[in-house]
Every structure is written in structure tokens, then in C-alpha cells.
């Protein structure tokens, strides 16, 4: 019994001394420049999806209603939308995207975060037409934000 207790104590002590992943602002991605690859998938048209890679700057300080991670697909209706029901559980971040106006677009974003990367899915329902689509995102931090990181490239 004493050997078991000593082994348990040693394991707990070793786990406690392991470096822990931390975020600059808790569960949100660390501020900085990210290389983000996104693919917009439409139902029954998955094979026509094209990966688009762009550089985005996520600020360190965010207002409470601002989208923590932008939707980057072309012609997306979320320019004036806000985040609601933001929840963080360990490495998982979820929130609803709420847009002003009757019949406006809406969405639900789910991300898995690490200190330098994130990946996620944004389920989108467009307003009026009730069309559904999903934006898949993968990103990695490439440094601090600055004028040299502006622009985007597409990978086909």
C-alpha cells in the first residue's frame, strides 16, 4: 500500500510540474498574425470546395460583441454581426453569430484552440433564402500583426 501511495504521489507531482498551455486572454486565440486556410462547403457540393489561404490579424484586445475569429469566405454576410452566447470549455470555444435585421444571416462557430493554432467549423444559414453552408478553418500563428502581413493568397 505504501508503494502505491508513493507512486501516486510521484505521478501527481510530475503532472503538476508539467508546463501548462496558457492563452494571453484565457480561451480566445492569442493576438497576432495568423495564416488561415478556409474552405466553404455547400451541401452535396463538397468536391467543389476550394481552399483559400489568407493572413488575418487577430487583435489582443477584443470588445465583448466582436467576432473572436472572422468568417473569411467571399461574400459572407457577417460584416455587421456580433458574437453571442460565447462559451469556453478548456480548449473548446463556441459562440453564435447574430446579425441585425429581420431575416438576417446567422451562424454557430465551434473551435479547438491551442496557444499557436486553431481549427473550427462555422455553420452558416443565410438570411431570406435559408441556404446552409459550412466554413472549415485551420490557422497557425505566424507572428505579430504589422503592415507586411496584409493581403491574401488562394491555393487551388
Q: What is the pLDDT along the chain (156 residues), one digit of tens a residue?
A: 565 455 455 444 444 444 333 333 455 778 899 999 999 888 877 667 788 999 999 887 565 667 889 999 887 888 889 999 999 888 999 999 999 988 888 999 999 998 899 999 999 988 777 788 999 999 999 999 876 544 444 443
Res 140: pLDDT: 96
What SS3 class is residue 115?
coil
In a domain? residue 78: yes
Res 90: pLDDT: 84
**Structure pTM?**
0.71
Structurally, the chain folds into a number of domains equal to 1
In a domain? residue 82: yes
Res 65: pLDDT: 66
In a domain? residue 104: yes
In a domain? residue 153: no
Decide: residue 130, CB within 10 A, 0-12 exposed, 13-18 middle, 19+ buried: exposed
In a domain? residue 123: yes
Task: Provide the residue range defining the domain that includes 60.
Answer: 19-147
Decide: residue 107, CB within 10 A, 0-12 exposed, 13-18 middle, 19+ buried: buried
| CATH code (residue 48) | 2.40.128
Res 24: pLDDT: 38
Q: Residue 85 contacts by C-beta under 8 Å, 6 or more apart in sequence?
A: 94, 95, 96
Amino acid at each position: 500500500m505504501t508503494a502505491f501511495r508513493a507512486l501516486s504521489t510521484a505521478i501527481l507531482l510530475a503532472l503538476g510540474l508539467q508546463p501548462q498551455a496558457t492563452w494571453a486572454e484565457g480561451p480566445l486565440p492569442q493576438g497576432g498574425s495568423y495564416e488561415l486556410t478556409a474552405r466553404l462547403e455547400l451541401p452535396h457540393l463538397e468536391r467543389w470546395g476550394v481552399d483559400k489561404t489568407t493572413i488575418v490579424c487577430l487583435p489582443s484586445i477584443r470588445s465583448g460583441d466582436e467576432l473572436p475569429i472572422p468568417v473569411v469566405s467571399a461574400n459572407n454576410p457577417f460584416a455587421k454581426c456580433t458574437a453571442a452566447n460565447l462559451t469556453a470549455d478548456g480548449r473548446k470555444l463556441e459562440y453564435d453569430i447574430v446579425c441585425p435585421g429581420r431575416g438576417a444571416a446567422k451562424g454557430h462557430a465551434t473551435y479547438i484552440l491551442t496557444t499557436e493554432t486553431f481549427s473550427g467549423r462555422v455553420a452558416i444559414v443565410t438570411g431570406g433564402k435559408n441556404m446552409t453552408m459550412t466554413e472549415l478553418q485551420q490557422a497557425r500563428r505566424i507572428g505579430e500583426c504589422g503592415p507586411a502581413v496584409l493581403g491574401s493568397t488562394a491555393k487551388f
